[in-house]
């Protein structure tokens, strides 16, 4: 269950990183820096070039590692593969680019951080302190060993970050809100509710649907010709596939500019690993112990299913010639030296609609019947709840939390209690977009059973309003100041985001995708 939970939390953290216009200065190694101009374009040593000014690859690497460490410090053992999956490298680079754009805009507006502000930042950084006080020797050692910068260059980077923050502060200072905007915000946010709901998914009833008889299948196929054809077209990749193999690999990395001696040494290492495998060692265990591909190493080098056309030609030619269970000789690519083991092979297939229409019709028939059963069960449950039994009594969770909140597969309806949400919400907590349900919730004046079954996604929902708070004048008077503060903060974010977008639109930003992939293992 832990594995299913982690990616969802990663999404939240990555989203926070992605929307940040400018972070405050990082405490500890990992703050971003900015290099020298490079009018010729993106240099091999640059992660990006912003209006001719480099963001050094080394600084991106430090910042990316710093963000990974932050996620892990929050209790998330995030692998680099998961980080890439949710766009962490792009989010980190986007934030660094935004900071550089703001620093350049600040220069055009005559803004510049003072020496006193830089000194204050340096003195307050714990990593530069000894016994609670700024220590010059410690400062110089960290710059030399970790940042690999001179004090002058490092302090100039700090100045640019502070200057960028000054620019965003100047932009946000113009954000104002009217009394009408505060009132509108209150009428939405002060109009609150909590509900308990249960959902009825077709997947909960699929196993109860019997296979159609020959007569039922023929009738269904005749009545649903278009749906069957559309399903085939949407899933053509399933029925028309090239030859595929499921493979594992071990990588010994070789830098693109490696010397002949370094390449020879890597080849010797690959040959030694091959001998271990030929001597009886399990390929997956050798991959976990020795492969230098961080993305596949934890899984024993598993690459999943591969098609010839989307793989490096040298690897494809060698691997597709093997029988399952066999291992290639060392193969050199731009990434290094590979050993590849073929676990399974599947021949090419090209099934026509006529060949698979009965299979598709059976699938769609069962889906429709399962959906009908889910709707019927929801209608039945709603009638019981209207008769006086609560959803919680009718569908108590099997464990302390319902499966939906544990991110597990739901096998039966369970009562789910939401947190408080308001009329400004576009999503129902734990459900997502459900406009008809939201309308019914906020049309209610107090706790009550909602009168209908609501289609939401693939399933059906019944719900009870358990708490209801209306926006009234007394509450408005109490919350007006806090609401104004929230409205100003929201407006500040909007104007800052709009300003940065305008800088991106009018500027020139080049990113070094190949270099980023090297850093992040992509």
Half-sphere exposure for 186 (CA within 13 Å, toward CB): 21
Do 361 and 336 reside in the same domain of the chain? no
Beta carbons of 165 and 100 less than 8 angstroms apart: no
Do 256 and 401 reside in the same domain of the chain? no
The CATH number given to whatever domain includes residue 321 is 3.10.50.40
**What pLDDT is attached to residue 255?**
87
Last residue of a domain, one of 289, 321, 347: 347
Do 396 and 298 reside in the same domain of the chain? no
Q: Is the pLDDT at 6 greater than 90, yes or no?
A: no
Beta carbons of 209 and 370 less than 8 angstroms apart: yes
**What pLDDT is attached to residue 477?**
67
| CB-based contacts of 99, cutoff 8 Å, min separation 6 | 22, 23, 32, 160, 161, 164
Q: What share of the chain is helix, strand, coil (3-state, %, to 5)?
A: 55, 15, 30
**What pLDDT is attached to residue 252?**
95
What is the C-alpha to C-alpha distance for residues 321 and 353, in angstroms, rounded to an integer? 31
pLDDT band of residue 518 (cuts 50, 70, 90) is: confident
Query: Mean of the per-residue pLDDT values for the chain?
Result: 85
As a whole-number percent, the residues of the chain with pLDDT over 70 amount to 89
Q: Which two tokens stand for residue 360?
A: 């598709």
Do 266 and 126 reside in the same domain of the chain? no
What is the C-alpha to C-alpha distance for residues 269 and 129, in angstroms, rounded to an integer? 44
Q: What is the mean pLDDT of residues 290-299?
A: 91
**What pLDDT is attached to residue 19?**
40
Q: Is the pLDDT at 487 greater than 80, yes or no?
A: no
Beta carbons of 102 and 22 less than 8 angstroms apart: yes
Last residue of a domain, one of 286, 315, 347: 347
Asked whether residue 91 is domain-assigned, the answer is: yes
CB atoms under 10 Å from CB of 34, counted, come to 21
Asked whether residue 187 is domain-assigned, the answer is: no
Instruction: End-to-end CA distance of the chain: give it in Å, rounded.
Output: 26
DSSP characters over 41-74: S--TTEEEEETTEEEEHHHHHHHHHHHHHHHHHT
Do 283 and 137 reside in the same domain of the chain? no
> How many residues belong to the chain?
522
Q: Is the pLDDT at 13 greater than 60, yes or no?
A: no
What is the C-alpha to C-alpha distance for residues 449 and 385, in angstroms, rounded to an integer? 7
What is the C-alpha to C-alpha distance for residues 479 and 485, in angstroms, rounded to an integer? 10
Q: Is the pLDDT at 266 greater than 90, yes or no?
A: yes
Hey, is 281 helix, strand or coil?
Answer: coil
Do 145 and 29 reside in the same domain of the chain? yes
Q: Which two tokens stand for residue 468?
A: 């209801």
Do 327 and 368 reside in the same domain of the chain? no
233 vs 8 pLDDT, higher one: 233
Q: pTM for the full model? A: 0.49
Q: Which tens digits make up the pLDDT trace of 116-153?
A: 999 999 999 988 999 889 999 999 998 888 777 889 98
**What pLDDT is attached to residue 9?**
47
Half-sphere exposure for 146 (CA within 13 Å, toward CB): 18
Burial class from Cβ neighbours inside 10 Å (0-12, 13-18, 19+) for residue 460 reads: buried
Beta carbons of 422 and 189 less than 8 angstroms apart: yes
Q: Which residue reads 């297939």 in tokens?
A: 349
Q: Which residue reads 């209801």 in tokens?
A: 468
**What pLDDT is attached to residue 44?**
60
Asked whether residue 483 is domain-assigned, the answer is: no
Beta carbons of 134 and 122 less than 8 angstroms apart: yes
Q: What is the mean pLDDT of residues 72-80?
A: 72
Do 203 and 280 reside in the same domain of the chain? no
Q: Which tens digits make up the pLDDT trace of 376-432?
A: 999 999 999 999 999 999 999 988 889 898 888 899 999 999 999 988 888 999 999
Asked whether residue 494 is domain-assigned, the answer is: no
Domain that holds residue 453: 192-213+353-469
Do 321 and 363 reside in the same domain of the chain? no
The angle at the Cα of 341, spanning 339 to 344, to the nearest 5 degrees, equals 160
**What pLDDT is attached to residue 493?**
86
What is the C-alpha to C-alpha distance for residues 391 and 388, in angstroms, rounded to an integer? 10
What is the C-alpha to C-alpha distance for residues 520 and 522, in angstroms, rounded to an integer? 6
Q: Is the pLDDT at 29 greater than 50, yes or no?
A: no
Asked whether residue 428 is domain-assigned, the answer is: yes
pLDDT band of residue 32 (cuts 50, 70, 90) is: very low
- Count the domains in the chain: 3
pLDDT band of residue 332 (cuts 50, 70, 90) is: very high
The CATH number given to whatever domain includes residue 28 is 1.10.4030
Burial class from Cβ neighbours inside 10 Å (0-12, 13-18, 19+) for residue 391 reads: buried
What is the C-alpha to C-alpha distance for residues 188 and 180, in angstroms, rounded to an integer? 12
What is the C-alpha to C-alpha distance for residues 47 and 278, in angstroms, rounded to an integer? 41
Q: Which two tokens stand for residue 181?
A: 């905007």
Asked whether residue 227 is domain-assigned, the answer is: no
Do 456 and 507 reside in the same domain of the chain? no
Q: What is the mean pLDDT of residues 294-313?
A: 88
**What pLDDT is attached to residue 77?**
67
Asked whether residue 410 is domain-assigned, the answer is: yes
Do 33 and 160 reside in the same domain of the chain? yes
Hey, is 392 helix, strand or coil?
Answer: helix
Do 275 and 424 reside in the same domain of the chain? no
Beta carbons of 38 and 46 less than 8 angstroms apart: yes
């Amino acid at each position: 269950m832990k594995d299913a939970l982690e990616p969802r939390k990663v999404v939240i953290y990555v989203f926070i990183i992605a929307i940040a216009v400018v972070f405050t200065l990082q405490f500890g190694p990992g703050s971003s820096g900015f290099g020298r101009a490079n009018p010729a374009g993106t240099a091999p040593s640059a992660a990006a070039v912003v209006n001719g000014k480099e963001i050094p690859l080394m600084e991106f690497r430090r910042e990316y590692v710093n963000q990974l460490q932050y996620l892990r410090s929050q209790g998330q053992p995030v692998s680099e593969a998961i980080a890439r999956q949710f766009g962490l490298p792009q989010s980190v680079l986007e934030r660094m680019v935004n900071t550089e754009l703001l620093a350049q805009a600040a220069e055009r507006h005559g803004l510049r951080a003072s020496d006193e502000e830089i000194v204050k930042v340096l003195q307050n950084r714990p990593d530069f302190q000894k016994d609670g006080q700024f220590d010059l020797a410690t400062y110089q050692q960290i710059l030399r060993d970790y940042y690999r910068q001179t004090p002058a260059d490092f302090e100039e980077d700090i100045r640019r970050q502070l200057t960028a923050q000054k620019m965003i502060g100047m932009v946000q200072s113009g954000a104002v809100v009217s009394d009408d905007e505060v009132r509108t915000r209150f009428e939405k946010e002060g109009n609150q509710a909590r509900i308990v709901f249960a959902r009825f998914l077709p997947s909960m009833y699929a196993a109860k649907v019997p296979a159609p008889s020959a007569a039922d299948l023929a009738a269904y196929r005749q009545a649903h010709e278009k749906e069957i054809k559309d399903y085939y077209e949407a899933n053509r990749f399933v029925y028309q596939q090239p030859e595929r193999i499921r493979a594992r690999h071990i990588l010994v990395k070789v830098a693109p500019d490696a010397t002949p001696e370094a390449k020879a040494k890597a080849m010797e290492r690959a040959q030694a690993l091959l001998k271990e495998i030929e001597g009886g060692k399990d390929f997956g265990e050798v991959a976990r112990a020795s492969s230098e591909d961080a993305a596949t190493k934890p899984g024993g080098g598993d690459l999943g299913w591969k098609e010839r056309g989307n793989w490096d030609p040298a690897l494809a030619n060698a691997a597709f010639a093997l029988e399952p269970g066999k291992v290639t000789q060392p193969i050199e690519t731009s990434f290094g030296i590979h050993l590849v083991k073929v676990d399974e092979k599947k021949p090419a297939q090209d099934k026509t609609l006529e060949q698979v229409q009965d299979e598709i019709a059976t699938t769609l028939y069962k889906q429709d019947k399962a959906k009908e059963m889910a709707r019927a069960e929801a209608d039945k449950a709603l009638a019981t709840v209207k008769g006086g039994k609560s959803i919680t009594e009718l569908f108590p969770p099997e464990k302390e939390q319902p499966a939906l909140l544990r991110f597990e597969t739901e096998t039966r309806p369970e009562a789910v209690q939401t947190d408080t949400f308001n009329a400004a919400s576009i999503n129902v907590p734990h459900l997502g977009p459900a406009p008809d349900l939201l309308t019914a919730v906020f049309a209610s004046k107090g706790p009550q059973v909602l009168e209908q079954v609501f289609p939401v996604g693939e399933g059906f929902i019944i719900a009870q309003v358990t708490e209801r708070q209306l926006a009234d004048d007394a509450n408005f008077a109490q919350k007006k100041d806090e609401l104004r503060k929230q409205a100003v903060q929201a407006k500040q974010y909007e104007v800052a985001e709009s300003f940065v977008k305008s800088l991106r639109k009018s500027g020139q930003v080049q990113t070094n995708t190949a270099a980023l992939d090297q850093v992040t293992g992509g």
